[in-house]
Chains A and B, each alone.
Chain A
Amino acid sequence: MSDTNTPPLPDFPQIPDAIVERRRRRSSQLVWIIPIIAAIIGASLAVKSCLDRGPVITITFKSGEGMEAGKTKIKYKDVQIGEVKAVIIAKDRSHVLVTAEMFKEAVWLLVEDTRFWVVRARISSNSISGLGTLMEGSYIGVDAGTSKQSQHEFKGLERPPVIAMDEPGCQFVLHAIDIGSLDITSPVFYRRIQVGEVIAYELDKDGKGVTLKIFIRAPYDQYVKANTLFWHASGVDFTLDANGVKINTESMVSILLGGISFLSPEDPSKSQPASSNSTFTLFANKDEAMKRLDAVVETYVLVFKESLRGLLIGAPVDLRGVTVGEVTRINVDLDPRNREISMPVEVQLYPERLWAQYRSKSQQGKPMDSRQLLSTLVKHGFRAHLRNGNLLTGQLYVALDFFPKAVPSKMDWSKNPPEFPTITSSMEQFQTTLMQIVQKIEKLPLEELAGDVRQTIQTFETTLQKIEKLHLEDLAGDVRQTIQTFETTLQNADKLLKNVDTSIVPEAHSILEDVRKTLDDLRKTLGGAKQTLSPDAPLQQDLRETLRELRRAAQSLRVLGDYLERHPESLVRGKEDDR
C-alpha cells in the first residue's frame, strides 16, 4: 500500500469543470468580530454587575419576624433600594443582624440618622397599615436621614416612625398627669382639623407624669404660640345639668381613639409662633385649659362648720352664676380651745374675672388693690356659702353673694392664705329651723294637759253613772249634788280652757307659722325637682334620645362584628356586593 502514494487518478471526462469567478476576496478574519462582541458583552455584564453592587449594610432588629434572606426588600417611599442578603442571630443572642445589599443609587441614604424598620401588617387601635405585606411579605422601610455622616451599621426601629424626617412641621413637648387614651399616632386637632400626631410618649423619670412628643404639620405649626393651650380631646364630654344633656366631642376619630386639641388665646403680645420643641402642659379637658387663661390666681381659705358632703375639689366658686374660681383643697381642722371641728376650704379665685369691669372703669392699666376692694365688699356683707348645685347628685358649690343681714365680719389678712368670711348655707339654716321647731314641740306641757282632760272625763263618767242609778226619791238631793259637781266640773273645765288659752295657743301659732314657711320653702325646692324630673323635661328627653342613639350605634356595631366574623376577608376585599 505504501508504494502508491497517490492512487491512480481516474479520468472522468464527464465531470464538468467548476465555474471560476474572479472576485475580490473578502477578508475571512471578519468572523473574529463575533467573539470580540461576545467578549465585550460579557465584560460589560461583568463590569455592570460589579458597578451595580451597592454598599452592604447591617441592621440590628430585636427579631427577624417576616425577614427572609434574598427575598425581603428594602424600600424607601415604596421604591426598592436594596435587598436582605442574610439574617443571622447576634453572638450574644440578644438581637438579629440583618445584612442587606443596597442599590448603588441609594448610597446617599446611608447616613447616621437614617431609620430602618420592618413594615408588616399592623392593626392598631387607630389604623390598619401594611396590608400589602400580607401578600408580598414584609419589607424594611427606610426614612432618609439628614446627616452628612455616612454609616453602614444601623439599629432598626421596632415600630414604624409616625412622621417621616423630611415632613415639614414642628415637634412640641407636652407634659400631662396621665396619658389618657392617647397612643402613638393619636391625632392632634386644631379647630377640629387633624394637623398632627403624637409621635412618642414616656413616663417622667420621677414617675409623676407623662411627657408626650407631638408633631404638627407644616402649615399648621404656626398656630402654636407661646401661650397655646393643649388639652385631651379624648372621648365624649358628657355633661348632665339642669340645662339638659350636653355632649361635646371632637371628631368621631377622637371619640374612639382620643386625641389632643389646642387653641391659642388671642393675645397680640404673644403671637409669635412657638419654637420647635417648646414645652406645654396638657390639660385634662378644655374647661381646665381655659381656666389657665387667668394669669392672676389668688388663694383664699373659707372656713365652714357644716358638712361638706358633696363638695369636691374642682367645684366652682360662683358669683351669681359666673364661675370666678374653684375649690382646690378641703381640710379638716380641730380647734382645741373651743373643741370645734371646722372645715377650711381652700379656693382659688381669678380676680381678673371678678374685677375686670371694676378695673376698666376706675384704674386703667394700674395694678388694682384687690385686698382693699375685697375688704370693702366684705364690709357690705359679701360672704361665701355652700349651695346645692344639683339636687340629683347633691353636689355643692361655693357661692359668693351679698348678705346684708349677715353677722358683721371682715377679711382675715393675717392668715396665709387669707380667710374669707362665710355664712351657713340655706339648707343648713332650714335644718336648724326644723330642729328648733321640734325642740319647741318637745317642750310643750302635753302630759299635764292630758292628765287634766282624763280627770274631767272621769268625773263626767261618775256623774253619768250616778244619774243612771238615780231614784226618784233621791233625785232632789242628788240633783243638788249633781249641780254642785257639775259646777265644779265647769270650773275645772274653765280652768283647763284658761290654761289652754294661755300656754298653748301662742306657742302653736308660732309653730304653725314656722311650719308654713318651711313647707313653702320645701314646696319651691320640690317644684324645681319635679320640673327636672318630669317626663317631658328637656333633661329626660335628651337622655332618652341619647340612650336610643347609643342603642342604635351598639346594634350596628354588633351587625358589623357579626359580618366581620362571618366574612373576615371583607376587611381586605370589601363587602361582597361592593366587588
Chain B
Amino acid sequence: MRQVEPAAAGLGLCSCDVCGLVSRSDKAGDPVHCPRCRTRVHFRKPNSVGHCWALLIAAYILYIPANLLPIMETGSLFNYRKDTIMSGVVHLWKTGFWGIAAIVFVASIMVPLFKLLALTLLLVSVQRRSTWWPMQRARLYRLVELVGRWSMLDIYVVTLLAALVQIRTLATVKAGAGALAFGAVVVLTMFASMKFDPRMIWDSLRKENQ
C-alpha cells in the first residue's frame, strides 16, 4: 500500500488554472469563479472523460483518411505524383534517404498512433478506476503533452513547400486532402490530451484506499 496524499478536492479546495489562486468551493454543481481573476474554477475538468473520448474517436476516424489520402501533390515538368505519408516514406527510403525516411515515419505515423493509443489507455484506465501503475501513466501523459505539437512536422513541410514551390508549369506542390485530415488528427489529439485531467489518475487510487 502506498502513501495516498490528501486531495484538494476532498478538502473543498480548488485552484485556478490561470492565476493559480487556491479558493474554497462547496461541492455543489454550480459553476464557480476564481475570486481573483474570475476564471472558472473546478475541482476536476468537467466532463473530462466524455470530451476526451469524443475528440479521440474523431481523431481515430480521421486517422484513416490521413493515411490513405495523398498528403502532397507534386507536379514537375517530368512527372506528377501524389504521395500519401506512407508512399512518401517508401519513396524516401528507396531513394536512399534512410534518415529522413525514419524521421518522417516516426514523426508522422508512429507519433500520432502512439498518442492515440496512449490517450485511449489513459482514458480506459481512468474509467475503470484502475490503480495500475499510476506513476507510469502520469509519465505517459506528460510525454503525450510534450510530443503533441511536434507531430505537426509534416504539415509544416507541406505548407512551406506549397507556399514556396509555385513555379507554374515547372513545378508545383499542393497540399492534398490527406494533409487536412492529418492536421485534424494532430489538433484533435492535442485537444483531447488538454481535456484529459491527469488528476483523475490518482482519484481512483484514493477512492480505493478509502
Contacts and interface: CB of A to CB of B under 8 A. Distances in A.
A31 B53 CA distance: 9
Contacts of B6: 6-7
Contacts of B78: 135-137
A20 interface: yes
A16 interface: yes
B96 interface: no
A34 B188 contact: yes
A124 interface: no
B57 A35 contact: yes
**Chain A: interface size category:** 35 or more
Nearest to A5: B210
Nearest to A15: B24
Contact of B61 (A9, A15, A35, A137): A35
A39 interface: yes
A41 B54 contact: no
Interface in A29-56: 29, 31-35, 37-39, 41-42, 45-46
Nearest to A70: B81
Contacts, number: 108
Most chain A CB atoms below 10 A, which of B1, B6, B34, B61: B61
B30 A31 contact: no
A45 B177 contact: yes
Contact of B24 (A7, A17, A21, A35): A17
A19 B32 CA distance: 5
A39 B61 contact: yes
A38 B47 CA distance: 20
B142 to A, nearest CB: 24
B10 A6 contact: yes
A22 B51 contact: no
A29 B50 CA distance: 8
Interface residues of B, number: 48
Contacts of A18: 14, 23-25, 32-35, 41
A204 to B, nearest CB: 47
Contacts of B65: 41-42, 45-46
A28 interface: yes
A45 B10 CA distance: 48
A34 to B, nearest CB: 5
A136 B80 CA distance: 9
B107 interface: no
The 7 A-B pairs with the shortest beta carbon distances in the complex, nearest first, are: A38-B58, A28-B47, A18-B32, A35-B57, A35-B58, A18-B25, A18-B23
10 contacts: A15-B24, A19-B35, A28-B46, A29-B50, A31-B51, A37-B58, A38-B188, A45-B177, A71-B80, A137-B79
Interface of B: 1, 3, 6, 10-11, 13-14, 21-26, 28-36, 38, 41, 46-47, 50-51, 54-55, 57-59, 61-62, 64-65, 69, 77-80, 177, 181, 184, 188, 209-210
